[in-house]
Structure 1
Amino acid sequence: MQCMLNSVQKDLLKKHLGPFLFCFFTMMFILLMQFLMLHVDKLVGKGLPIMIVLELIVTNLAYMVVLAVPVAILVSTLMAFGKFSEWNELTAVRAAGINPFKLILPVLIAGTLLFAFTAYFSNLILPEANHKARSLFLDIRMQKPAFDLQESTFYQDLEGYTFLIKEIDAETDSLIDVRVFQAETDGRDRAVVSAERGWLDSPDQFTLSLFLENGSILRYLPGERRDDETVERSFFDRYRMSFDLSDLAFSRSNPDQRSRTDRTMSTEAMLAVVDSLRTERENEYRSFTENVSESDDIPIFSDVGRTLTLGETRELDTLRVYDSEFYSVNQLFNPTLQINSLNRAINAMDSYHADLDRFYTNNNWRTFKIAELLVEVHKKFSIPFACILFVLLGAPIGMLTRNGNIGVAALISSGILTLFFISIIQGEKLADRLLISPMTGMWAVNLVLLTAGVLLTLRVSTSFRLTNLWSRDQ
């Protein structure tokens, strides 16, 4: 019987392999197409080397792996156990006295191993890939467009020159009715070059030559004074202009010299930053409270926001003094002292309000930053943990549906995945806004699905039913 069980377990694992690989690569393809559609405008028209584009794609494949593995596990588990139940193999196993949980166990172990791999990948490999991809994106964003002339359109991306081409012959690449506006520099006068025809030639990627025929050059020669500018016009049969395209060449920066964000840091690095922020927050709170308690200039009023007034006047020993709502002011029998005392109190309170606002701003910024970092820490493990959850959900659901068709598996998976990822996204937003804790935001849906998975597994492997909990016979 033990030998039969081993063969059944192996058969189930083999049934997982094909659907898992198919779903994994399908998800990777879908996510890759989505990435290209979102960023194709940033890559096209800038003359980027093909290896730079490929490197950008490869570095962005990392986050796709973390998403695709749990999805592939869910679909393959639904298909394998659904087909196993559809072919009545589950009925035969039960008739042989074998607990169905023993069939789920090897798949659950495989899911646990994939969870460990995905968590390791998400914690150490994904941040580095995200950091390189982010640095590459910034370099590409700063890259100027390639030298690409369009008909009847001003081209101004080559510093010091503006090109205007009326017509471009697509068959011969000839330029018709060419205008080149040359800006004034230290070693070059302002000029306008016109020609009937022209063509481009580039011996290498950093040099461009423009050959012109039948044209003229209008040069603006400066005199001793601005008003003495001289215009000189010359004609040519053939003329050549050379341009330096090094400014248009792609330039890479060192990723290690760029700052890191929460999505480009490992768990250990983020927890270190969190500890630092908490220490800074505590030190600032201690410093603020000590300064307030040690200050003798800050009065404590019942309503610090109201306007301080002196009140009505009264005569006392030929001095005109004021009746104030503040007892301490009334003890001063000199109007000048009364006014000075109130002014000092107002100034101290204004200073206190400024310090208090600054303290609240810094404290809130650190609190929000801590929440963002902790959300990323929990997310690095909550999403990979779905590898275990989806085995506990997919196996019993597949047994109960008794259908291993990919359409049924895709339909059920779409519902579960929609619930899972919407909960993760919304949980992240709520945690970032401090409405819930980072742990609750990232693990609440996992707890719900884990509970459902355990109950469904008990449903197919034992006589336990949820209704037994409130049945009269129990």
Structure 2
Amino acid sequence: MLIYRYIIRELIFPFIASLGIIVFLFIMQQAMVLLNRIVSRGLDPAVVFEIFVIQLGWILALAIPMAVLTSTLMTFGRMSGDNEITAIKASGSSMFPLLIPVFSAGLVVTVGLFYFHDLILPEANHRASKLLSDISRTQPAAFIEPGVLIQDFEDYTLYTHDVDPVTGDLSGIRIMTDAAGQDPTVTVAASGNVRMTNDQRFLKLTLHNGETHSYPRDADQEYYIGEFEKQVIYIQNVDSRLQRTESDYRGNREKTIAMMLSDVEDLREANQNILVNHHKIIDTLSAQMTRYDSLNKVLPYDSEQTDIMSFDKWIQHYGKSIPVASNEVLKNKDALQRVIRRKHSNDLSIAQYMVEVHKKYAIPAAVLLFVLIGAPLGIMAKRGGLAVGGSYSLFFFIIYWAFLIVGESWADNLIISPFLGMWSGNILIAIAGLVLLYFMLQEKTIRFDFVKHFFAFLTKNQLIKSISKSFIFKIPGIIFLLPKIITRKCIKILPTYLMGQFLSYTIGLLIAVLVIFVVVDYVSNLRRFEHATLLEALLYYWYYLPWLIQTMLPVVLLLASMFAMGKLVKQSELTAIKAAGVNIRQLTFPLLGFALFLSVAAFYGGEVILPLANERRAELSEQFRHPPSMRDSRQPGRREYRRNFFYFGDPNTMYVFKEFSTNPQFARQIQRLSFREDGLMQRIDAEEMVYDENSGWKFLNGQIRSFGRKDSILLTFDTLDDDVLTSKPHDMVKYVRSKREMSYWELKNYIEISRQRGEQVQRHKAELHFKIALPLMNFLVILLGVAITARTGRKGGPINFAIGLMMVFAYWIISRSTMVLAQNGTITPLAGAWIGNIIFTVIGIILYRKAAH
């Protein structure tokens, strides 16, 4: 029938659009988790792409049911809002025929999704598991960076003043070896060259004009110095190749239904054998107790009822008087406990397998149930659009997801049956769908009249009216009205109108996203809050808000800018504005200026508010691990302990500590090496080193070797003031918080400290530049949203909305990828942080210029 084809055609685009948005959000979340971890290992781009393609398996499994619900709500909501449903009913048609095409489409999706869950998703999960495991074993290739201690090579520590990345020429070379079974050595050379062998397994270091110092571990008085004009050293490189492995092992989410049912059958047969052994041990124990209990009245010895507690009571009763019998019973009791643990373990495995089996049926079946909800709900709501469809669908999907997650957890732990755990959400959604279907047939609409009546009651109440007229209740209105008055004076009425639309969409979308995320996160991580009070849980999410806002804001701003401009386009307001002589630039320049302000605010929030909030949230997470009664008070001062710790007192003086601790403070087995261009000038070896706030560092119990061109001098000492090292112990091993806990200025300060320790700072420098570049993404998404929506007019809105989302995702992927390349030394940190901004700023300006004409 014509109406059937019309409904199916109307369903297609909302389904594709909502599916695209959901997949986009999931992929962004995965990119945030995986990108640094995988790209930083120097993998081929094809492997990185393969990882994200494989991850699409579980993403589609979750996204398709939600997209079906959203598209059904949007389609029938639009048809009801445009009075098409009214016209159909006026023609004498029933509502039931309207459900036939959407149920038929839902049935096709359900069947396809079932086979996807059973045949494709397990293989995708298995392949992803193997690939991520192989990647975790891959080491990034070691590269030589000037002014950095390279400790990636086994048994070797390498430092150079300067490196030519093209020719491989080196200068100011220092190499320290400490291999087991060999004497430690220090090699210094004025210049040299580095090459990789043809098989990429070794670095060939050719050194010129230097000397090698070595000493036996067990002979402090012996010391050897060898000078050379040329020396060649081969150092084994780390393995940077991705070695793919084959594994037949599969987790329960990597198996088909047939595989899991076969495993369940094997486990149940094993349980039968366990029960046989259980009864044998029970009978043996009962016979032993009966033999030593002439009255046979102490405890019942029925093999079906006797448990471990019964044997414990028997041992307590007879243990002292009959020790031999007690030992025999105790031995068999231990065997019984092992049998019971094996059966419990098998029961847990059976439950977990059956949960996955039921899940493979329950999630596809939910598609039909979401259709049952979406169609009547959309008709009764009488409103279409992404906002309405997304709001309703997210509400029901969160409820369904909560039942699925909690049910899976309880069923896995044998609290409820696997069937109830996986199907309880479907049962609830089915009941809700039938109720909505009944209301639809009764031709009712969804209203919130009780809210209207409540506010009407409040406005009519004399006491409330008199209180509301007081000045204090007028203050919020004045506060919100004042910016509007100011902006009208400064930027005129029309830009103020656009700004108001943009802000209303931004606030509404941001609140919706935050509420949804908090609810889903709380339900998904109930175990995290097992030992937390309600106030602590609320405080945890309060500290979570800055990170959530920073992460979600670019997408929210893109949607808000598109919705605001789209409304002007859809209602022909933009045409009227142009006809009044106001061009796109005059209309949108204030909004773009506000976008720059948001970028500055995002930088401030990310560098001042966010690090402190993340630190507080991490502390709360740590507290949640234990009940309040078991939480220890925090110890003052943080202990940092290092073994084989290197530190630069100045560019030509290196300290090597075998052990270094800040709380309690101690340093043991210290070497201080003072270098000249082609050798060592001085070497101090000390048993200990102590720090005093007033006098600084002192060496204890050691010796000084001073090296001239032709001779050397050896002196011993009990105490010796150090005239080079001025840093405090805590500053030398300053605790490095994660990048989410470090502000721009803290990271900048840490980079300087890292230089003194001879550590690689390339990664941190890239992060430092990116902290400035990332907030500008908020400006770019508004520029893109305005330019794309204003240029396309009425016809291209949905398509260009998808293009806008893809651009945001592309921007994020390019920016993160180039930053990782900068961290690896492939490109400069400045270029890595700003390439994404430069590319998309150019794209945004071009699109904006075209839209303005």
Which TM bucket (shorter chain)? 0.7 to 0.9
Query: Superposed, which structure 2 residues align to 1:22-421 within 5 Å?
Result: 22-150=17-145, 153-165=148-160, 177-184=172-179, 191-196=185-190, 200-202=194-196, 206=200, 209=203, 215-218=209-212, 220=214, 231-236=224-229, 241-245=233-237, 247-256=239-248, 259-294=249-284, 296-299=287-290, 301-302=298-299, 304-305=311-312, 342-421=322-401
| Residues in 2 aligned to 1:400 and 1:175: alpha-carbon distance in whole angstroms | 76
Q: Distance in 2 between matches of 1:73 and 1:270?
A: 29
Hey, what's the Cα distance between the residues in 1 that align with 2:443 and 2:386?
29
Match of 1:335 in 2: none
Code of the aligned partner of 1:231? Y
- Measured in 1, the distance between the counterparts of 2:82 and 2:222 equals 94
Between 1:205-214 and 1:152-161, the stretch displaced more is 205-214
SS at match of 1:363: helix
Q: Report the residue type matching 1:293 in the other structure.
A: D
| Distance in 1 separating the partners of 2:111 and 2:154 | 53
1:198–1:210 Cα contact (<8 Å) kept? no
**Identical counterparts, % of pairs:** 29
- Distance change (3 Å), C-alpha of 1:246 and 1:98: same
Kept in 1: contact 2:141–2:238 (CA 8 A): no
Larger Rg: 1
* Pair 151,425 (structure 1): closer, same or farther in 2 beyond 3 Å: farther
Preserved contact between residue 206 and residue 249 of structure 1 (Cα < 8 Å): no
Please give the alpha-carbon distance, in whole angstroms, between the structure 2 residues aligned to 1:86 and 1:203: 72
RMSD (CA atoms)? 3.3
User: Distance in 2 between the 1:401 and 1:463 partners?
Assistant: 11
How many angstroms apart in 2 are the aligned matches of 1:428 and 1:20? Answer: 28
- Report Cα offsets for 1:414-450 as digits up to 9, x if no partner: 1111111111111111111111111111100101101
CA distance in 1, matches of 2:198, 2:20: 40
2:139–2:238 contact (8 Å) kept in structure 1: no
Gap change, CA 1:125 and 1:343, over 3 Å in 2? same
Q: For residues 386-423 of structure 1, what are the alpha-carbon distances to aligned partners after superposition, in whole Å with 9 as ceiling and x for unaligned?
A: 21111111111111111111111111121111111111
Q: Is the 8 A contact 2:41 2:139 kept in 1?
A: yes
What CA distance in whole angstroms lies between the structure 2 residues aligned with 1:458 and 1:167?
79
User: Which consecutive residues of structure 1, in runs of 5 or more, have no partner in the other structure?
Assistant: 1-5, 310-324, 327-337, 466-474
Q: Which amino acid in structure 1 is aligned with residue 241 of structure 2?
A: A
Counterpart amino acid of 2:431? Answer: T
Higher relative contact order (CA 8 A, sep 6+): 1
Q: What residue number does 2:693 align with? A: none
Secondary structure class of the residue paired with 2:239:
helix
Output one character per residue of 1:204-224: Cα deviation in whole Å (capped at 9) or x when no partner. 67256566675524164989x
User: Structure 1 residues 308, 409: CA separation in 2 closer, same or farther (over 3 Å shift)?
Assistant: closer
Residue 83 of structure 1: how far off its partner (Å)? 0.7
**TM-score, L = length of structure 1:** 0.80
Question: How far did residue 182 of structure 1 move?
Answer: 3.8
> Higher mean Cα deviation, 55-64 or 451-460?
451-460
Find out whether 1:431 has 2:424 as its counterpart.
no
- Give CA deviations for 1:137-191 in whole Å, capped at 9, x if unaligned: 11111122321445654333223422234566899997653322245589x9864
Contact 2:150–2:158 (CA under 8 A) maintained in structure 1: yes
Report if aligned partners of 1:136, 1:252 keep a CA contact under 8 Å in 2. yes
1:215–1:235: 8 Å Cα contact kept in structure 2? yes
Give TM-score scaled by structure 2 length: 0.46
Q: Tell me, which stretches of 5 or more residues in structure 2 are unaligned?
A: 291-295, 300-309, 446-853
Task: Give the match's secondary structure for 1:298.
Answer: helix
- Residues 190 and 210 in structure 2, CA contact (< 8 A), matched pair in contact too: no
Relative to structure 1, is the Cα distance of residues 196 and 74 closer, same or farther in structure 2, using a 3 angstrom cutoff?
farther
Corresponding letter in the other structure for 1:192: V
Deviation at 1:20, TM superposition (A): 0.8
User: How many pairs does the alignment contain?
Assistant: 428
Distance 2:105 2:443 in 1: 26
Matches of 2:240 and 2:204, distance apart in 1: 17
Residue matched to 2:829: none
Q: Which amino acid aligns with 1:58?
A: V
- Asked if the contact 2:184–2:216 (Cα under 8 Å) also holds between the matched residues in 1, the reply is no
